[in-house]
């Protein structure tokens, strides 16, 4: 989580107009992956499981989708 906070702070401190577009894209992609890793860690620690989006059952309440 510290890595994510550091990445966000780093991006917040920079003036995007001073950076080449490719570097901004690279930083945003890295931030995206850090957020994905954090979400996976949270899911593992809280017991949240992924679900099949094509499932006929709503993952939030367990009832069939309308």
Angle between helices 21-46 and 2-13 (to 10 degrees): 150
Residue 57, SS3?
Answer: strand
Written as six digits, the tokens of 19 are 């950076």
Residue-wise pLDDT for 16-62, tens only, equals 788 788 988 888 888 888 888 888 888 888 876 655 665 665 556 55
Confidence of residue 64 (pLDDT cuts 50, 70, 90): low
* pTM more than 0.75: no
Spatial CA neighbour of 32 closest among 2, 6, 7: 7
């Amino acid at each position: 989580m510290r890595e994510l906070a550091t990445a966000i702070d780093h991006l917040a401190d920079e003036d995007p107009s001073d950076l080449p577009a490719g570097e901004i894209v690279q930083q945003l992609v890295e931030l995206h992956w850090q957020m994905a890793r954090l979400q996976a860690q949270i899911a593992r620690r809280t017991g949240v499981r992924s679900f099949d989006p094509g499932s006929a059952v709503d993952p939030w309440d367990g009832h069939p989708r309308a």
